[in-house]
Amino acid sequence: MRVLSTLWYLLIQELTLAFRQQADVFAVIFFFIVAVSLFPLGVGADPHLLKSIGPGVIWVAALLAAMLSLGRLFNDGYADGTLEQLLLIPVPLPLIVLVKLLSHWLTSCFPLLLMSPLLGLQFSLRPDELGVLMISLLLGTPLLSMIGGVGAALTLGVRGAHVLVAVMVLPLYIPVLIFGSGAVTTSAVGMDPQGALSLLGALLVMGVVFIPYVTSKALYISME
């Protein structure tokens, strides 16, 4: 119970600190909205073309928007010394990492999930396709936070960390992008998207089990 109360307090603290930096939160949302909305203006109003590119555009925009906030995942705590204090409390570090990743997802990815149906209407997506889009984002965006967390931990305290994180995590994002956008595309052509969604779910379960431990090891290496 003490461990659970400590993790709950840490989650509330992380969310409070994130919402105090409202500019960072709104910057992610604003980038996502603008990036998605520019494509219909640029490619024209052909509904068939918009429908074919819509899932990929939304997923790529969500991927890039989630990367904008990876810099503050561990760097703020590293700069003010709180990350070192977290390493000393009697709570397993993988659980602390999982809480920080959950906070990142709630503040950076969950708003994108809520905005996706409205933006999907610009691409002539049907209600059932919008539902598949939200499910794919619900399963896939936590993976974006977790994979990005590994990159952020490995580049902690390194000059030019933002560029290094992008180089490291973008190739690892490719399977999530393929399955996420592929589920919506499959639904749009009248096929069952269950296969792609199941693969996303399997990747999510594997990520929750293994990535906190990998990120913890990366933090120990970076802090030494």
Burial of residue 35 (number of CB atoms within 10 Å: 0-12, 13-18, 19+):
middle
Q: Which of 34-43, 163-172, 205-214 has the highest mean pLDDT?
A: 205-214
Amino acid at 197: L
How confident is the model over 189-204, as a mean pLDDT? 90
The four Cα atoms 169, 80, 85, 67 give a dihedral, to 10 degrees, of -20
Contact indicator for 211, 146 with CB cutoff of 8 Å: yes
Q: In this predicted structure, what is the pLDDT of residue 179?
A: 94
pTM: 0.91
> Tens digits of per-residue pLDDT, 79-123?
777 788 877 788 888 998 999 999 999 998 999 999 999 999 989
Choose between 190 and 182: higher pLDDT. Answer: 182
HSE value, Cβ hemisphere, 13 Å, CA-based, for 221: 13
What are the sequence ranges of the domains in the chain? 2-223
- The residue among 198, 168, 167 whose CA lies nearest residue 180 is 198
Q: Taking 80 as the threshold, does the pLDDT of residue 76 lie above it?
A: no
- Determine the Cα–Cα distance for residues 147 and 141; give it in Å rounded to an integer: 10
The DSSP secondary structure of the chain, one letter per residue, reads -HHHHHHHHHHHHHHHHHHHSHHHHHHHHHHHHHHHHHHHHHH-S-HHHHHHHHHHHHHHHHHHHHHHTTHHHHHHHHHHSHHHHHHHSSS-HHHHHHHHHHHHIIIIIHHHHHHHHHHHGGGT--HHHHHHHHHHHHHHHHHHHHHHHHHHHHTTT-TTHHHHHHHHHHHHHHHHHHHHHHHHHHHHTT--THHHHHHHHHHHHHHHHHHHHHHHHHHHHHH-
Amino acid at 127: P
Task: Give the rounded percent of residues in the chain with a pLDDT score beyond 90.
Answer: 44
Band of pLDDT at residue 208, cut at 50, 70 and 90: very high
> Tens digits of per-residue pLDDT, 61-74?
999 998 888 877 88
CB atoms within 10 A of CB 69: 21
Q: Taking 80 as the threshold, does the pLDDT of residue 151 lie above it?
A: yes
Q: Taking 70 as the threshold, does the pLDDT of residue 217 lie above it?
A: yes
Q: In this predicted structure, what is the pLDDT of residue 160?
A: 66
Dihedral of alpha carbons 76, 11, 69, 150, sign: positive
CB atoms within 10 A of CB 181: 24
Q: In this predicted structure, what is the pLDDT of residue 1?
A: 66
Q: In this predicted structure, what is the pLDDT of residue 222?
A: 77
